[in-house]
Homo-oligomer: A and B are copies of this chain.
C-alpha cells in the first residue's frame, strides 16, 4: 500500500511537470517593452551573468537599481546559451555592448550585422566587438540596413523601433517586442541568414 502511494505521488509529480512543460510550450513569451527607460545601473545584472558570486557585492553608485525596460532587455539577451544573431542599424550602448561581449566570452556563438554608414561613428560598439573577436558583417548598399533585431538561441526574436544607443534608450519613444511564436522567429532567422551571406566579406568591394 505504501508502494502504491509512492507510485501515485510519482505519477502526480510527473503529471505536474508535464503540465508545466505544456503550459510553457503552449504559451510562448509575448511581451512589449516601451522606452524611454530612465538612466539606471545594470552592473549587478552583468556581474551576475558573468559568473557565480559576481552579484554578491551590491553596487553603491547613485543611479536607481530597479527593473526597467533596459534591464529587462538585458536579462532576455543574457538568457542566450548557444547562439545570438544581431542585426542592428546603430549600436553604441555600452551596457548592451558589455552584455554581447559577455555572451561571446561565455561561448555563445555571436554574429553581428550592421550598417556601414553608422558603424564608423564615434561611440559605436562595433569596433570593440570586432576587437573582442566577434564576427561582424556590414552592408555595402546605398539604402540603410535599418533592422533592429536579435535572435536568442534560435528561439526568441527581440525587435522593434529601438536602435541600441543610449540616446534612444534614455530619450526616445520606442518599442521592443519579444516573440517566441515560430511564425515570427522563422522569418527573422531566414532574413538573418540571407543578409549574412549577402554581406560575406568575399563580396566586399574595396575602392
Contacts and interface: CB of A to CB of B under 8 A. Distances in A.
A162 B173 CA distance: 15
Contacts of A195: 173
Interface size on A, as a range, is 35 or more
Interface in A124-162: 139, 141-149, 159-162
Contact of A147 (B31, B139, B173, B191): B173
Interface string A165-207: 0011011111101000101100110010001000000000000
A63 interface: no
Contacts of A188: 32, 175
Give chain A's interface secondary structure class: mixed
A34 interface: yes
User: How many copies of the polypeptide does the oligomer hold?
Assistant: 2
Top-9 shortest CB links A-B = A143-B171, A30-B183, A32-B187, A146-B172, A143-B172, A144-B172, A145-B173, A146-B161, A146-B174
Given A32-B188, A34-B187, 18 more contacts: A30-B181, A30-B184, A36-B143, A89-B161, A139-B173, A143-B167, A143-B170, A144-B171, A146-B162, A146-B168, A146-B174, A147-B174, A147-B175, A159-B177, A160-B161, A177-B177, A177-B184, A181-B181
Given A32-B187, A191-B34, A175 B149 contact: yes
Contacts of A139: 173
A185 to B, nearest CB: 10
